[in-house]
Amino acid sequence: MEFLKVNHLKVYYPIRSGFFRRVVGHVKAVDDISFQLNRGETYGLVGESGCGKTTTGRTLIGLIKATAGEILLEGKDLAKLNRRERSYHRKDIQMIFQDPYSSLNPKKRVLDIIAEPIRNFEKLSPQEEKRKVQYLIERVGLHPDSIYKYPHEFSGGQRQRIGIARALTLHPKLIIADEPVSALDVSVQAQVLNFMKDIQTEFQLTYLFISHDLGIIRHMCDRIGIMYRGQFVEEGASQEIFNNPQHIYTKRLISAIPNVDPRKKQEQIKLRQHVEKEYKLSWQRYFNAEGKAYPLKRISDTHSVAIL
Amino acid sequence: MRANLNDSQQIAKDVSQSPSSLFILWREMIKDKLALISLVVLSCILLIVYGSALFLDQDKIVKVDLLSIYAPPSAEHWLGTDYGGRDILGQLIIGARNSFTIGLLITLLTGFIGLAIGLIAGYYGGIIDNVIMRIIDFILVLPFLMLVIVFVAIVPKYNVFTFILIMSAFLWTGKARLIRAKTLAERELDYVSASKTLGTPDWKIMIREILPNLSSIIIVNLTLNLAGNIGIESGLSYLGFGLPESTPSLGTLVSYATNPDVLQNKWWVWLPASLLILVIMLCINFIGQALKRAADARQRLG
């Protein structure tokens, strides 16, 4: 059985206008997407900004209400659970936020920040709680004494580690990482990403990794889904998508990855020109009259593309 | 060696107990000389006022003495007397006590109501916010002074407490608006989302997460409001709609200056009360500024 299954998820926002604020249309932030996560894998959601990838992540964790569709975690529909069951299942899904500055409460010490979920779900004595927090903070590579400091005393990378420690506190099964490194500089990005890979095996985590950076996605993910305007245009194993992209949008994204080798510069330029030409000639094959993608079509066991 | 060990233990102890907020406030006060002086002056005034008010007999002070009308300052009446021959110093002390107590109680009451309603409106947003804000708008468009005057006239048992309740019923709206606006900005930040995903109940997020981040604005607003509320009380008494004349108030004393003769020739009647209002308000404002800095780690001096 799949670990997490998302069926026909839709998140619409009404557009109101006129004197009576009638609904005249909808912003389709997430428009009918379905995918599944297997236990222990890293699934990447990629797309340009505004394509709905963050909305998808926030809907899965319950910060945004889905308009339609179901989210099945180990076979249970999260939207249909009552309050008590939902708070119980909440422990299984945690989130790492994009901005390490606003995601930590500036008025609380690190101890209180990391202990917050413990205080909500487990009754521990202050000593046990402190020991657990110190273990976690050491595990993410910070000094145990730093639990008495405030967030503003840490650097961006360290703050993001505190965020990760907080997400790990309840031993979740799924972690939604919403652009966890896009606010960090490149040297720290690698550090945090490798660390996330290390703890994945240790804590048996499943990641839903949201990013717009294809290099990071390629480094981290086993399978990826490429989103465009709230829909999937291509989905499949990471290798297949990077080596054999089928959809023109994917091709354009991949051709846009900068190449560090100056000798291949001409090659890269040619590739881009080629993709651009193909896009102009054949975009009707990939997008309908409204500019939206077609439904996904399976082309191999592990690869689906949105073409006619 | 032993000294070293003690030192490191001491340091470990210091580290494990982050400075309490009271200590931070104290440190900030000491660094800011103006605030420290204000604090000393204000505490002296309050100590004298509340202390000596215990030994003063209000009935004796407000008793009319026709033999000493408008007596200038003398050994018997340190600050002279008013048109009823009543001792100004005694009225000043009891009046300051009444005015300050009323101002403080109104501030606390409105602060509490405004905080609760503002947090709820800002945090939940949507329909709840809309309903609460429309009610506040309604209260705000009512003519405050006129309604207070009407209430003062129709309330059967009019005393200090009914006065406080009437004032609070109108003055909480500004605070609720301010706190709602700040809460609206604060709840969009990721740490609130994080708390939600960590399973923290709404009331806990409001009180434990958002409220501490609003503390600076609340403290500043409350202190400034304290000064303002003392002013409003004095102003209403000045107009004759505050406390009855049998209950001395700073405003009543100042209102004697409406008589040109008193204003020009009998300074002892109104000048002490005016100066006292000025000094108290200035002190409160300076202290408020220091508190404001203490509440925000980046602005601290100490």
Q: B102 CA to chain A: closest CA distance, Å?
A: 33
Q: Is residue B8 situated within a structural domain? A: no
Number of CB atoms found within 10 A of residue B217's CB: 16
The pLDDT confidence band at residue A82, using thresholds 50, 70 and 90, is: confident
Q: DSSP for A199-240, please give it.
A: HHHHHT-EEEEEES-HHHHHHH-SEEEEEETTEEEEEEEHHH
Contact criterion met (CB < 8 Å) for B213 and A105: yes
Is any Cβ of chain A less than 8 angstroms from the Cβ of B189? yes
Strand order in the sheet with A22-37: A22-37, A4-17, A68-73, A76-77
φ, ψ dihedrals at A22, nearest 5°: -75, 155
What's the pLDDT tens digit per position in B12-63?
444 444 566 677 778 888 888 899 999 999 999 999 999 888 888 777 777 7
What's the pLDDT tens digit per position in A57-71?
998 888 888 888 888
What's the pLDDT tens digit per position in B74-110?
877 778 788 777 888 888 898 899 889 999 999 999 9
Q: Is residue B5 situated within a structural domain? A: no
Q: Is residue B58 situated within a structural domain? A: yes
For residue B191, give the nearest of A58, A104, A145 by CB distance. Answer: A104
Strand partners, B87: B81
Q: Is residue B61 situated within a structural domain? A: yes
Radius of gyration of chain B measured on its C-alpha atoms:
24
Is-contact B51 B39, C-beta < 8 A? no
Q: Is residue B3 situated within a structural domain? A: no
φ, ψ dihedrals at B70, nearest 5°: 50, 40
Residues of A in Cβ contact (< 8 Å) with B297: 106, 150, 152
Q: Is residue B11 situated within a structural domain? A: no
Q: What pLDDT shows up at residue B18? A: 54
Strand partners, A208: A43, A176
What's the average model confidence in pLDDT over A146-170?
88
If phi over 0 gives left and psi between -120 and 50 gives alpha, with beta otherwise, what is residue A253? alpha
Domain hosting B262: range is: 20-295
According to DSSP, residue A141 is labeled T
CATH number, position B206: 1.10.3720.10
φ, ψ dihedrals at A185, nearest 5°: -85, 165
Residue B173 has pLDDT above 70, yes or no: yes
- Cα–Cα dist B127/B112, whole Å: 22
Contact criterion met (CB < 8 Å) for B297 and A145: no
ipTM: 0.84
Residue of chain B nearest A104, judged by CA positions: B191
What's the pLDDT tens digit per position in B272-284?
889 999 999 999 9
Q: A298 CA to chain B: closest CA distance, Å?
A: 35
Sorted by where each starts, the structural domains of chain A and their CATH numbers stand as 41-66+81-229 (3.40.50.300), 238-308 (no CATH)
Average per-residue pLDDT for chain B: 84
- Cα–Cα dist A157/A186, whole Å: 10
Of A105, A102, A106, the residue nearest A183 (C-alpha): A102
What's the pLDDT tens digit per position in A102-155?
999 888 889 999 998 888 888 888 899 999 999 989 888 888 888 888 888 888
Residue A268 has pLDDT above 70, yes or no: yes
Q: Is residue B2 situated within a structural domain? A: no
According to DSSP, residue B111 is labeled H
Q: Is residue B63 situated within a structural domain? A: yes
Contact criterion met (CB < 8 Å) for A97 and B189: no
